């Protein structure tokens, strides 16, 4: 039975949205952290899993592609069945995936576990769309900004945390820690995150899911493996072209559906379209520094430009950048309130690009790269917070989850492309150094400069794209809510 708003006092969970936001942010942080948690042991994976280096690389790739598929699908499921339910399911998938990976000693079960961890990334876009419904207006922008920042913060702090755990104990503990944290998140979501009765009903477009998954997986595998296979290799070209063809077929199919997985007419509206295109560019800019800066920090000092840091030390130098994203969440919220989401997105992308420009002149010491990384990360934190606000302001309430999920997918495409492009640039010019242990090949100093220039270019392209986002004509408000003893109900 629906009661009057005064009954909110009887629903402590709904009446205390800050606790719900904290739980959602911690869950998003854990989901994002799994994306980078195996990087410290990446070189050891072939030996640890008794497989070849090429096969071991799938331990990272499968998580990225599964996350890309999960975000729009989880968003649509949230619109159909309710956001809190899908968040609980995503947290449970993270729990199961982490446990499977923790029990793995060979490649196949590890891939299963890592794939499930990738699927759990649906937690973040659904959490962002739910926050708009359970928070009062004066804290909504800050809460959305904080939740959005977890995409970057989790990845940034995952490297030093994982390096610290792996450095002093059995590598399986990486996943056992993740398992324990996921279990806590499942319970916390059930207890502290209200069930919003926002399910709009309908059916899941299963053929659309299959086509989207097939197209995305094929395309992203081609992109992520292009450097290893060779960009002119038939397998690389076949995956990229084949994936794009399937995605086009997916689009044509969706336009004929009464209840599509992704309403392309909504996502083709100029505010959402340009926001998603900007998300690709800014996602590229975020990932580029996450790849290049650790490489430069860990490069041997005998090269003359390498900084000779250990994996753990490099991660610690990078960690403040991740915290900067979180620190700038309330700053971004203030900018959104005072300047609007469009100008905030442009500001974030500009700061990100400026961070890369600074890096061009600060490459001689770890503390210098720390400064550049913090500037770039601040830009990411500002920009990431603005994107879901732009999407939610221009998407119908019944499609909010799917719309934010597609924006998350756009970021993932950007980060995947960045990984491939940075790997290609870093291996494009190698120099042989004579050492007591024998000849050693390493990237030349010029390729790091090239990487920073490309990262800056991507960020400034994001500024240009965001400039074309039209001014919002008609405000799309969040559905009003009433509260009863079971939680929050939309009117």
Q: Using one digit for the tens of pLDDT, what is the confidence trace for 165-179?
A: 777 678 888 899 899
269 in the same domain as 146? yes
Long-range CB pairs of 55-59, under 8 A, 24+ apart, other chains included: 55/107, 56/107, 57/225, 57/228, 58/107, 58/111, 59/107, 59/110, 59/111, 59/114
Over residues 97-113, the mean pLDDT reads 94
> Which residue among 260, 275, 294 closes a domain?
260
pLDDT of 480 strictly over 80: no
Give the model's pLDDT for residue 6: 36
> Which residue among 260, 282, 297 closes a domain?
260
116 in the same domain as 62? yes
User: What phi and psi values does residue 32 have, to the nearest 5 degrees?
Assistant: -70, -35
pLDDT of 352 strictly over 90: yes
Residue (of 142, 118, 122, 123) closest to 132 by Cα position = 142
241 in the same domain as 367? no
123 in the same domain as 32? yes
What's the CA gap between 339 and 464, in Å, rounded? 17
Q: Strand 487-490 relative to strand 481-484: parallel, antiparallel, unpaired? A: antiparallel
Over residues 249-266, the mean pLDDT reads 83
The model's pTM is 0.79
333 in the same domain as 238? no
Label residue 1 by pLDDT band (50, 70, 90).
very low
Give the model's pLDDT for residue 472: 63
Q: Report how far apart, in Å, the C-alpha atoms of 353 and of each of 10, 332, 455 are.
A: 49, 17, 7
422, 223 Cβ separation under 8 angstroms: no
pLDDT of 434 strictly over 80: no
Domain count, the chain: 2
141 in the same domain as 225? no
Tokens of 156: 């940034």
212 in the same domain as 194? no
255 in the same domain as 296? no
> Which residue among 260, 276, 305 closes a domain?
260
362 in the same domain as 230? no
CB contact set of 348 (below 8 Å; sequence gap of 6+): 282, 332, 379, 380, 381, 382, 383, 384, 385, 386
Give the model's pLDDT for residue 44: 81
387 in the same domain as 252? no
Residue (of 336, 284, 215) closest to 465 by Cα position = 284
What's the CA gap between 291 and 284, in Å, rounded? 11
CATH number of 40's domain = 1.20.1250.20
Q: Decide: residue 116, CB within 10 A, 0-12 exposed, 13-18 middle, 19+ buried.
A: buried
Of residues 437 and 190, which shows the higher confidence score? Answer: 190
High-pLDDT (> 90) share of the chain, %: 25
297 in the same domain as 241? no
CB contact set of 364 (below 8 Å; sequence gap of 6+): none
pLDDT of 490 strictly over 70: no
406 in the same domain as 284? yes
Most confident of 240-254, 283-297, 379-393: 240-254
CB contact set of 240 (below 8 Å; sequence gap of 6+): 219, 222, 223, 226
What is the domain range of residue 136? 5-204+261-490
């Amino acid at each position: 039975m629906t009661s009057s708003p005064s009954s909110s006092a009887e629903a402590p969970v709904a009446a205390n949205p800050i606790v719900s936001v904290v739980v959602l942010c911690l869950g998003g942080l854990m989901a994002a952290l799994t994306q980078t948690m195996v990087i410290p042991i990446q070189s050891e994976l072939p030996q640890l899993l008794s497989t070849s280096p090429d096969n071991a690389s799938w331990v990272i790739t499968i998580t990225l592609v599964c996350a890309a598929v999960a975000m729009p699908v989880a968003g649509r499921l949230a619109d159909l069945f309710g956001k809190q339910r899908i968040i609980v399911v995503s947290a449970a998938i993270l729990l199961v995936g982490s446990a499977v990976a923790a029990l793995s000693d060979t490649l196949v079960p590890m891939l299963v576990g890592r794939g499930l961890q990738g699927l759990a990334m649906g937690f973040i876009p659904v959490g962002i769309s739910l926050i708009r419904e359970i928070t009062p207006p004066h804290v909504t922008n800050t809460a959305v900004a904080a939740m959005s920042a977890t995409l970057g913060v989790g990845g940034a702090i995952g490297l030093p945390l994982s390096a610290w755990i792996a450095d002093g104990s059995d590598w399986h503990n990486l996943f056992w820690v993740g398992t324990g944290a996921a279990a806590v998140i499942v319970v916390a979501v059930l207890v502290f995150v209200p069930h919003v009765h926002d399910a709009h009903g309908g059916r899941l477009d299963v053929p659309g899911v299959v086509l989207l998954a097939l197209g995305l997986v094929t395309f992203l595998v081609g992109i992520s493996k292009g450097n290893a296979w060779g960009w002119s290799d038939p397998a690389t070209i076949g995956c990229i072209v084949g994936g794009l063809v399937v995605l086009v077929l997916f689009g044509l199919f969706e336009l004929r559906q009464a209840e599509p997985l992704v309403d392309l007419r909504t996502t083709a509206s100029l505010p959402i379209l340009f926001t998603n295109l900007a998300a690709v560019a800014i996602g590229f800019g975020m990932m580029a520094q996450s790849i290049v800066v650790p490489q430069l920090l860990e490069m041997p000092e005998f090269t003359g430009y390498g900084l000779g840091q250990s994996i753990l030390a490099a991660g610690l130098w990078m960690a403040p950048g991740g915290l900067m994203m979180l620190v700038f969440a309330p700053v971004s919220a203030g900018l959104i309130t005072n300047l609007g989401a469009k100008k905030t997105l442009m500001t974030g992308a500009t700061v990100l690009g400026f961070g890369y420009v600074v890096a061009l002149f600060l490459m001689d010491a770890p503390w210098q790269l720390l400064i550049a990384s913090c500037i770039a990360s601040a830009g990411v934190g500002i920009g990431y917070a603005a994107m879901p606000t732009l999407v939610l302001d221009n998407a119908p309430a019944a499609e909010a989850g799917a719309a934010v999920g597609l924006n998350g997918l756009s970021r993932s495409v950007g980060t995947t492309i960045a990984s491939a492009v940075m790997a290609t640039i870093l291996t494009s010019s190698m120099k042989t150094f004579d050492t007591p242990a024998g000849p050693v090949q390493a990237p030349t100093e010029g390729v790091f400069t090239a990487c920073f220039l490309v990262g800056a270019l991507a960020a400034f392209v994001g500024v240009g794209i965001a400039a074309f986002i039209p001014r919002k004509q008609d405000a799309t408000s969040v559905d009003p809510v009433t509260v009863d003893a079971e939680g929050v109900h939309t009117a």
